[in-house]
Every structure is written in structure tokens, then in C-alpha cells.
Structure 1
Amino acid sequence: MNLDLSLRGKVILSVGVPATCLLLYWLLKNRDQDDEQDEEKEKVTTSRQTVIEVKVPSKAVGPLIGRQGANIKKLQEQTGTRICFQDDSKREPGKDRVLVIRGSTNQAQEAELLVRKTIREMPTVITEEIQVPIKALGRIIGRNGDSIRQMSRSSNARIFIDRAREEPRDITKKVSITGSQEQIEVAKSLIQEKVDEEEVFRAKAAVMAANREQRNKPNQGSVRRNDHTQTNTEKKTNDQDGISRNVVSMGTNVKEWPKQEYVEVYVSSVADPHHFWVQIISTNAIHLDELVHRMSSLYNTDHYKNMCDNEYRVGDYVAALYERDHSWYRAQVMGIEGRQLDLYFLDYGDSGYADINNVHQLRDDFLLLPFQAIQCCLGDIKVKGDEWSEDAVNVFEDITYTAKWKVLMAKRTGSKVTEDKEVIQIVKLIDTNSPVVRIAKCY
């Protein structure tokens, strides 16, 4: 084979090869430029935000946001978008709210689909009304509303108690529960537990009242007026046998008046309609009976029967024997006359005298329960003359079932403070035991 090229062929070859290389270089360069342009276009498209607005029913706003915005935050993290509600303070109540989604096209669309799915699958919010016994209302609400708030948190339902004016003969109260059907059922079961607890308490209280002895009417003048507060606030403790010697103000451990409009009470002692004592019917009433049982079991032992505490001072808290039922009760020493101690019974409000052999210093643990006797004054009445007649006091004791442990309704209308800084509750007493509601008044 002859490979020699003519002069013409060599010239053509020398010109053609560089042209081919030049063409190939140009094609490769254009392709790189096109790729760079495509990347730049993609960057421009990616950086451009898409804004999508979604109308959200007002009832779905809360669940969509979640507790402290947890649901919205999770949705933003999942889709890489920024989500918020429009500031529409002028929006009419109950109208839809506008949710704004910002992000890339794909991200915003994904977030929109998830939002609409969440709204679509959201359980229907309804409101159901139930009636609860008004006597269980305090237990349902709890101290400072603690119980009802806890039930709302546990069920994720909104519980609202009708605040309409309460009447003494009201039997039930309306409670509204808002949430899904499942949430409402959980809330109803929690409320029923409180109602059942109250029924158990009522049964125990009925047994307690039936077993209580009717306290003897004190001797004339033995129930004192406005002299149960000791001005000496010194406290001295004898650590021996866990016994405290207390000389303190009577107001330091007195049970507080509940906040509800009407409360159930026993009238435990009466001096006159402007000076009488009540016990509020609550779990503390049962705790008081349990305390009396514990004290009696202790102080009726031979150890204490053979012990005589000879050193007492005015203001000491003591345990005193009530000879009629052989039980021991909390009392305060108001005076000392030889071997006789003048006592004020802290949980009943009555007074009496006891031999020093029937009194012992009170242990610290017996002081933990607040004193149950609350001094009251009947409002809207005035005494005729200088003081109440014995007949008027007897009538008042009769219509208030004094120390007979029969329930009355009490409505607090105010309070007053004596010169000794003793707080007296001004109340209205209503007897709901008879067919006709009778307001306790003396004539």
C-alpha cells in the first residue's frame, strides 16, 4: 500500500485537522455554557418563594396550632416552609382565619396538602351539657379551680360551669363540655368520679352525724362572747412526748370560709343570734371525727389516766374529756380557778369547765387539722333592748338545730373584726329541710 501523500493532500490534511479540533472545542464550550445557564436558572427558580393562603375554620385553629405552637412548628420542620396566621384583629368572631404558607413551590404545596389533610381529619368539635349535683360542685372545681383545670388537661376538653345565680334549693348545676366526642366522654368520666367521691363522703358524713352525741347546752353564761382571742402570741414548746405548750392567737389555725355562694353547715354552738358557731360540712368534718377517735384512744389509756398535768397557763391548747360520751376534744384554756379549768372547745365553739385530772397537754400532731368552729353573726337582724332574751336564744337554737347535726345552708354576706382582731363571718342561714325554705330569724 502506498502511503505517500501528494503536496496537495498534505496541505488539505494540515488545514482540516485544526478545523476539526476547533469545531470540537466550540461545541464543548457551548455545552458548558448551556449547563451553567441551566444551573443559574435552577438557582433563580429555587430562590423565588411561593406564597399559598389557606382558609382555616375558626374551630380548627387551636388544634392546628397545637399546645404552645407545637403542631405548626412540626409542620414547618417537616416541609421546610414558614407558616403563620394573618393578623386579622378586625375579623368577626367565628369567621375563618387565613393561614399563610411561604416556601419553594414544592415545599409550599406539600405543606398545603398536609394542612388540608389535618383539617379534614380533625374530629368534629361539639358541646354537650350535663347536670351535676350542686353538692358535688366544690369537689369538681377543687381548691382555687385545681380539680377542674386538671380534668380539662387530662381530657383535652373545655369544661365550663354555669355561673348563673345559685339558689339554696338548687339540686343540680349545668356543666358544658366542649371537644371531640372522645374528649367529652373522658371529661364526663372524670366528672363522674368526683360525683362518686362526693356520694361516698356524704354517706360517711351521714353515719358520722348519726353517731355524734348531741352536746349539752352550756350553763347560762358559759359560752362567752368576743373573749376567745388571746393577745399573747408567744409560743413555747416542750419536746417531751411530742407535746406543745401553745399560747397563740385563736385566728392562727381557724378554718377558712369557702368561696362558693352557699355552703352546708352544722350549727354547733349558740350564745345568741349575733354570736354562734358553725362547722362547715367538708372532708375535714370526717377528719375531725377521726381525730377525736385517735385522741380518745390515746388519752383513755391507763398511762394518761394515771397522769396529772398540774402546770397550765391561759392560752394553752389541751385535750379535754367530754364526760357524756367519754371522748376527748381539742380545747383552749381560757381561765384557771383552782383545780377547775375554764375551756373553749376549738372545734365546736362551746365552753365549759373541766377538772384538771380530765385535761392533758395536746400533742403537736393533733394540731395539724384546722379548728372547725367558725364564729358567725346572723345578718339583717337587731336585738331588742340591750341584750337577747333567753326565749329568743332558745328559739334561735331550735330553728337552727343547734348541736343536733342537721344540715343548714349558709350564705356569707360579709365579715367584721372585733377589737381583739377576731374575724366574725356575717351569714344568712337557710333551712332546706322543710317544704318551705325558712330563713333563720329571731323575733
Structure 2
Amino acid sequence: MTSWLLLPSGVTVEVIVVNIVSAGHVFVQQHTHPTYHALRSLDQQMSLCYSQPGTPALPSPAEVGVICAAPAGEGAWWRAQVITFYKESNEVEIRYVDYGGYDRVKIDSLRQIRSDFVTLPFQGAEVLLDNIAPLPGEDRFSSEATTALEELTRGVALLAQVSNYDNNTGLPLVHLWNMVGDEVVSVNRTLAERGLGVWVDSF
């Protein structure tokens, strides 16, 4: 099983946000990590390989946890992990392991992955934002909060630090900061200050 490139605990690292599930749940890549530059050539090799007819399909029923190749539009193929198999519709929920995000697709769109395509550590780290919760009475963040987070993080390098781990999911809880000139702006706090979430102190 290939390793995930996880965020180191208690150290500040540079990241870019590559996928936003919700305002409190994102995927980041460590674009300064030595393995990161290999992702582009992997993407090119996978695109070439899976654009050929006859690459072996993923067997059904899909095994949960298995890594496969999934079409990602415009000729791209991304590495993905099977999260759930829906027998009645022959669909699977997948998580993209490098670029983040979840998708539900027909199993026959997925392909077996070549062993040399899984040597690079998975580049997409799934994280939750620490100290920020949906507004009182809401069980999820609003689409406005998600849009605000997109605007705060789009196309910029951020600093991230793991502060804790979520009890339910085991995912890292992180703080994100944006360098604006000489100023360090907390993305987590900005969401609370704009009234898009509530600040929750850690104990």
C-alpha cells in the first residue's frame, strides 16, 4: 500500500488547497515537498496509458480501500481510492488521492492501476479546519462560507499547522494562514470574523 504524504504534526508547512469539500473540510498538497514535482509526470504517464483502449477494468464488486485509476475530464486520469461500493447501482464512491474530493461514478468507468503508478506517495492530504464550527443550529457550513474559503485560498500558498486530530474521523485538525504582505492572516479566524462560522476554543 502506498503511503499518504501526511502533514507533519506540530510543524508549519507550506500548502496549497486543491479541493474544498466544505468550509471546514479541505484537501491540501505540500507543493514544496521533494516528491511533489513527480506528480506532473505521473499525471502525463497515466493520461497516456489510460487513453489507450483495452486497459483492464476494475473488477466488480469493487473492494473498499483499493486504489484505481479514475477519469478526471479532458483526458486526465487520476489516482483514486474506493470508499464505498453500491451493489444495486454498480456505482462506487471514490476519493481522489492526489487532488482531493469525493465522487460517485459507475464502476465500469474505473480502471485497474499499474503497480508503477502507485509508488509516488499520495499527494492530497485530507484535513479539517480547527477551532471553527458551523453557525449555531446548523449542522454544516453554508455555501457562503465555502465560497469565502475558496476566495481566501484560491491560487495562494498557505501555511498550515496540525494542531490536533479529530476524534471521529482521525483526520488532522489544522490552522491555515495566508501571508498578505508582512501580515499573517488566519484563514480559520477570518471565517469566524466574517460570521460564516463560530470560533470554538480548544481545551
Asked whether the two chains share a fold, i.e. TM above 0.5, the reply is yes
Q: Does 2:100 match 1:349? A: yes
- Alignment partner of 1:335 is 2:84: yes
Deviations 1:160-182 (A, max 9, x none): xxxxxxxxxxxxxxxxxxxxxxx
Q: Does 1:267 align with 2:17?
A: yes
Higher relative contact order (CA 8 A, sep 6+): 2
Higher helix share: 1
How much does 1:378 deviate?
A: 2.1
1:395 equivalent to 2:144? Answer no
Deviations 1:74-112 (A, max 9, x none): xxxxxxxxxxxxxxxxxxxxxxxxxxxxxxxxxxxxxxx
In the alignment, the residues of structure 1 paired with residue 24 and residue 92 of structure 2 have an alpha-carbon distance, to the nearest angstrom, of 26
Letter in 2 for 1:267: V
Contact (CA 8 Å) 2:9, 2:161: kept in 1 or not? no
* Cα separation, 1, equivalents of 2:178 and 2:5: 23
* 2:112 match: 361
Deviations 1:144-193 (A, max 9, x none): xxxxxxxxxxxxxxxxxxxxxxxxxxxxxxxxxxxxxxxxxxxxxxxxxx
1:287 aligns with 2:38: yes
Greater than 3 Å deviation, 4+ residue runs: 258-261, 307-310, 417-420, 433-437
**1 CA distance for matches of 2:76 and 2:18?**
17
Q: Which has more strand, going by share of residues? A: 2
Aligned to 1:410: 160
Q: How far has the Cα of 1:417 moved from its partner?
A: 4.4
* Correspondence for 1:299 among 50, 59, 66: 50
Q: CA deviation at 1:379?
A: 2.5
Structure 1 equivalent of residue 3 of structure 2: 253
Looking at structure 2, the residues matched to 287 and 409 of structure 1 have their Cα atoms a distance apart, in angstroms, of 22
TM-score (norm 1): 0.38
Structure 1 residues 435, 334: closer, same or farther in 2, change over 3 A?
same
Q: Is the 8 A contact 2:69 2:111 kept in 1?
A: yes
Q: Note the alpha carbon deviations across 1:190-218, whole angstroms, 9 max, x for none.
A: xxxxxxxxxxxxxxxxxxxxxxxxxxxxx
How many positions carry a matched residue from both structures? 184
Q: How does 1:15-414 map to 2 (within 5 A)?
A: 253-258=3-8, 261-281=11-31, 282-304=33-55, 307-311=56-60, 312-323=62-73, 325-337=74-86, 338-385=89-136, 386-401=139-154, 404=155, 406-412=156-162, 414=163
- The root-mean-square deviation of aligned C-alpha atoms, in Å, is 2.5
- Partner SS state of residue 415, structure 1: strand
TM-score, normalising length from structure 2?
Answer: 0.78
Q: Percent identity?
A: 26
Does the 8 Å CA contact 2:58/2:68 hold for their aligned counterparts? no
Rate the CA distance shift 1:303–1:267 in 2: closer, same or farther, 3 A: same
1:275 maps to amino acid: H
Mapped contact 2:166–2:173 kept (Cα < 8 A): no
**1:434 CA drift (Å):** 5.1
Tell me how far 1:356 sits from its aligned partner: 3.1
What code does the residue aligned with 2:165 have? K
Superposition deviation, residue 310 in structure 1: 4.3
1:424-439 matches, within 5 Å, as: 424-433=171-180, 436-439=183-186
* Partner deviation per Cα, 1:401-428 (whole Å, 9 max, x = no partner): 1xx4x3112233x2214345x3x22322
Report the alpha carbon displacement of residue 436 of structure 1 after superposing the two structures with TM: 4.4
Task: Identify unmatched segments of 5+ residues in structure 2.
Answer: 196-203
Is the Cα contact below 8 Å between 2:18 and 2:100 reproduced in 1?
A: yes
Cα–Cα, structure 1 residues 393 and 427, in superposed 2: closer, same or farther, change >3 Å? same
Amino acid at match of 1:416: Y
TM-superposition CA deviations, 1:279-308 (whole Å, max 9, x none): 11122221112211111111111332xx54
Q: Partner residue of 2:200?
A: none
Aligned counterparts of 2:25 and 2:149: Cα–Cα separation in 1: 11
**Residues 357 and 433 of structure 1: CA distance in aligned 2, closer, same or farther (over 3 Å):** farther
Give the Cα separation in 1 of the matches to 2:166 and 2:130. 15
Contact 2:161/2:175, CA 8 A, preserved across alignment: yes
